[in-house]
């Protein structure tokens, strides 16, 4: 697959991830509260939906990374900017236009972006730490 095609697929998957934040926030808001948490109303009202949103975002992002690597032969670390640009643009757009949704969108976006950055740093660790290779 050519270099331009990899940029396209990185941008494509970045757009899919950015658009999934609304869906992930909806899952978190509509999640059923387990019986054991129902007595802790402050926790349920303030944190439960965000924790569920972050957990589902973690799973969706991991599945997206696996799909990118296995089916399309696109690595996260190759064109990280094209992968992150739609998410950052969507977060900025949401902050300007829908301030009520920004906390739920960030609850989905922050875990997803941290996973993408972590995978990218792991893939490029030899570039950032060349002295690590000299030890062995």
Over residues 73-112, the pLDDT tens digits come to 888 888 889 999 999 999 999 999 989 889 999 999 999 9
pLDDT digits (tens, 9 = 90+) for 44-81: 888 999 999 999 999 999 999 999 999 988 888 888 89
Segment holding 94, helix H or strand E: helix 80-97
User: For residues 98 and 91, what is the distance between their CA atoms, to the nearest angstrom?
Assistant: 10
């Amino acid at each position: 697959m050519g270099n331009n095609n990899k940029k396209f697929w990185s941008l494509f998957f970045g757009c899919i991830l950015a658009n999934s934040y609304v869906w992930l926030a909806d899952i978190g808001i509509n999640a059923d509260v387990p019986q054991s948490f129902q007595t802790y109303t402050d926790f349920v009202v303030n944190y439960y939906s965000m924790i569920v949103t972050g957990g589902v975002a973690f799973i969706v992002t991991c599945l997206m990374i696996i799909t990118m690597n296995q089916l399309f032969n696109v690595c996260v670390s190759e064109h990280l900017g094209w992968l992150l640009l739609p998410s950052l643009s969507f977060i900025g757009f949401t902050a300007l236009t829908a301030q009520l949704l920004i906390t739920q969108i960030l609850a989905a976006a922050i875990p997803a972006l941290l996973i993408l950055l972590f995978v990218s740093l792991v893939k490029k660790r030899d570039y950032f730490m060349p002295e690590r290779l000299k030890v062995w």
